[in-house]
Structure 1
Amino acid sequence: MHLPEDPETPLQINIVPMIDVVFAVLAFFIVSSLFLTRNEGLPVTLPTAETAEAQAQRQVVVTINAAGEVFVGDKAVAEDQLLEAIQTLGTVADGGLVVIRADQSVNYGRVVGVMDRLRLLPGVQLAIATAGSQP
């Protein structure tokens, strides 16, 4: 008995599904890498410290730029309005952390003045950001 021969179809490699998977993985890594960077929005040159530690709890960032201007987050505030601006955020109540990001060229007295005003908040904890403490 003679069986008819099947015509051999040439083998083909379909790369479209592979391209889809590669682009999906690439998109995942691009999106996830955006969450790894920390952008405070205000350019300051932080001093360096060898013993700096990263803080994991919820925090409010107070920035003092090279011109001596005070910002809560990315919003400029007058020094006499600093406490009200932080209290409206509501994250400092009962032991909240306020991180002070002061440019290294800012006068030491200016930083101490801001710290002194922040200590009027009940239960506040203060931290000073350095170049080594940025995650």
Structure 2
Amino acid sequence: MRLRNRRMGQMPEINIIPMIDIMFFLLVFFMMSTLYMVQVKTVDVDMPQAASAETQLAVSYVVTMKKDGSLYLEDQPITEEALLARAAAEQQRTAKFSVVVRADQGLDYGMVIGLLDKFKARGITHIGLAAADGGH
């Protein structure tokens, strides 16, 4: 009969199941926190519905026009001249500069076209109009 040496006992084992649980928890945590980082800070506005609206995440400026004609850059109120000056300066710095205009659906169409025309006069050509997703 062969006797085992006490030093040659069982090798310690690493139990990886708790480690896998922690890694899964961290993965879910970072996925959920990333979803909240993607949302753009904007002002609530009643946008028109569009069935074929697309989501664009590579937007430099999100401009909101409320029903009374007031302008907001993201969630901060701004005057039209200040907005146009900042956008023109950003256009000079960034080659892929773009603007998305979120206009209230009760707003006069001429006011939206007037703002788009002023952007174009300042050399800003990548302009989009936002619509609520009225998809199926």
Unaligned runs of 5+ in 2: 4-13
| CA RMSD in angstroms, aligned pairs only | 3.3
Give the percent of matched residue pairs that are identical in Structure 1 and Structure 2.
Answer: 23
Deviation string for 1:39-68 (max 9, x for gaps)? Answer: 222222322112323335443211123443
Q: Could you state the TM-score of these two structures normalised by the residue count of structure 2?
A: 0.67
Is the CA contact 2:101–2:129 (under 8 Å) kept in the aligned structure 1?
Answer: yes
4+ residue runs over 4 A deviation: 90-95
Is the CA contact 1:92–1:98 (under 8 Å) kept in the aligned structure 2?
Answer: no
Aligned residues: 125
Structure 1, 47-56 or 114-123: larger mean CA deviation: 47-56
Is the CA contact 1:60–1:98 (under 8 Å) kept in the aligned structure 2?
Answer: yes
Which structure features the higher share of helix residues? 2
Equivalents in 2 of 1:125, 1:92: separation in Å? 14
Q: State the partner residue of 2:22.
A: 23
Equivalents in 2 of 1:100, 1:69: separation in Å? 12
Is the CA contact 1:77–1:85 (under 8 Å) kept in the aligned structure 2?
Answer: no
Equivalents in 2 of 1:97, 1:31: separation in Å? 29
Unaligned runs of 5+ in 1: 5-13
> Against the structure 1 CA distance between its residues 84 and 69, is the aligned structure 2 distance closer, same or farther, given a 3 Å change threshold?
same
Equivalents in 2 of 1:91, 1:27: separation in Å? 41
Q: Could you state the TM-score of these two structures normalised by the residue count of structure 1?
A: 0.67
